[in-house]
Amino acid sequence: MEGTSIRATTTRVCVMNSTALKFKQNYLSFRKSVLLRSPMDTKSISQNSIRARQSTTTMTETDYKNELKIKDQGIKIRRRPPTGPPLNYDGPFEFRLVNEDDNTPRDILEEIVWNKDKEVSLLKEREPLATLKKELENAPPVRDFLGALRKSHLRTGFPALIAEVKKASTSIGVLRKDFDPVEGGAACLNVLTDGSFENLEKIRNAGIQCPFLCKEFIVDAWQIYYARTKGADAVLLIVAVLPDLDIQYMTKICKTLSLAALVEVHDEKEMDRVLGIEGIQLVGINNHNLGTFEVDISNTRHLLEGERGEVIRQKDIIVVGESGLYTPSDIAYVQDAGVKAVLVGESIVKQNDPGKGISGLFGKDISP
């Protein structure tokens, strides 16, 4: 474990040093590409540079440095179009200065995140943090998400089930009178909110007892407070989207609110980042490839092999296998790899009888 962190730190330091050396050169060539993209006379160049300086949409030197730092961490998801407006800027997007092709999101997650920034800035205007903090007093009591996973794993001997609920109307049945997922053996629910917490509130008001993970694309700490006021017991932090410092900061906020944080990774680089951050108790391995959106459950096994698996055991981190789990042999495969919980959507949702869906998935009735 010591060795890992020393190596990780050394690598990061080397990368930062070389970045620092290259920064001036990169920044100059970046400025040059901004100003000299097409042949212009000196007058239009200077007019352009004045306009660029006046524009709030111009990428500043600090922005550029931050982009470079984030790239060093291997974050695939860009938080906004490279030539787009500054974060939380709501005015017209008037200037496109470089590489216009890059203004198209590269994958679904990037598209979600670009829209999310705007959505959150509007929500924050309606309900500033100070107001939310007051509302926390009236929030439904928080339930122990990690405790529920541990208890279920001990009781069944299988990975604890976090059942995904996409929409109240087509959910695994939480709003159907004849089915309660807890009775079917689910330890927790994963409620897809994506901006609207109506589902989560409805399910909570329907009296479902197990803890809820709020599946929201978190880009701002404000969303964590908001999720808690709506009754979330856990939130998702997607490592592909968030720099290390945000993960550290957000996990601390979660602790102060007694929320669990499911920190989600997709690949080795993201897993290594997470293992270098103190205080993380719950890690999800998503088997979706963000680029191709293909699902491969061997991703879970691969990320838990060797030294990484050893560090996870030493730190007593609970690992959740996410996506693409359909059969008892899939469950056995990820359990052998070291997961103590699974997050499952489609294979249960698709069943007419979700209770049978759960026992079909585990090859056994796991209801309490």
What is the binding site for ligand LARABZUK (CB under 6 A)? 108-109, 112, 164, 238, 286, 288, 322-325, 343-347
Maximum Cα interatomic distance, the chain, rounded to a whole number of Å: 77
Decide whether 80 or 97 has the Cβ nearer to ligand LARABZUK: 80
Q: What angle do CA 176, 180, 184 make, to 5 degrees?
A: 130
Q: How many angstroms separate the CA atoms of 329 and 314, rounded?
A: 27
Q: How many angstroms separate the CA atoms of 179 and 329, rounded?
A: 26
Burial class (CB in 10 A: 0-12, 13-18, 19+), 262: buried
What is the DSSP code (8-state) at residue 325?
-
Residues linked to residue 160 through DSSP beta bridges, in sequence order: 341
Q: How far is the CB of 161 from ligand LARABZUK (least distance, A)?
A: 11
Structure tokens at 142: 């928080």
Q: How far is the CB of 289 from ligand LARABZUK (least distance, A)?
A: 9
Decide whether 107 or 127 has the Cβ nearer to ligand LARABZUK: 107
Decide whether 254 or 290 has the Cβ nearer to ligand LARABZUK: 290
Q: How many angstroms separate the CA atoms of 341 and 322, rounded?
A: 9
Instruction: Name the residue with the smallest CB distance to ligand LARABZUK.
Output: 345
Q: Tokens 């330890």 label which residue?
A: 187
Decide whether 312 or 325 has the Cβ nearer to ligand LARABZUK: 325
Q: How far is the CB of 264 from ligand LARABZUK (least distance, A)?
A: 6
From residue 89, how far is each of 55, 57, 85, 94, 244 by CA, in Å?
12, 8, 6, 12, 24
Rounded to 5 degrees, φ, ψ at 14 are -60, -45
- Return the half-sphere exposure (C-beta side, CA atoms, 13 A cut-off) of residue 232: 28
Q: How far is the CB of 228 from ligand LARABZUK (least distance, A)?
A: 21
What is the DSSP code (8-state) at residue 279?
T
Rounded to 5 degrees, φ, ψ at 117 are -55, -45
Q: How far is the CB of 135 from ligand LARABZUK (least distance, A)?
A: 28
Q: How far is the CB of 14 from ligand LARABZUK (least distance, A)?
A: 29
Decide whether 95 or 212 has the Cβ nearer to ligand LARABZUK: 212
Q: How far is the CB of 24 from ligand LARABZUK (least distance, A)?
A: 36
DSSP string, 277-326: STT--EEEEE-B-TTT--B-THHHHHHTSHHHHHHHHHTT-EEEEES---
Q: How far is the CB of 344 from ligand LARABZUK (least distance, A)?
A: 5
Q: How many angstroms separate the CA atoms of 217 and 46, rounded?
A: 41
Q: How far is the CB of 298 from ligand LARABZUK (least distance, A)?
A: 15
Decide whether 161 or 280 has the Cβ nearer to ligand LARABZUK: 161
Handedness of CA 344, 347, 350, 356 (dihedral sign): negative
Decide whether 23 or 333 has the Cβ nearer to ligand LARABZUK: 333
Cβ atoms of 308 and 275 closer than 8 Å: yes
Decide whether 171 or 286 has the Cβ nearer to ligand LARABZUK: 286
Decide whether 78 or 83 has the Cβ nearer to ligand LARABZUK: 78
**Would you call 344 helix, strand, or coil by DSSP?**
strand
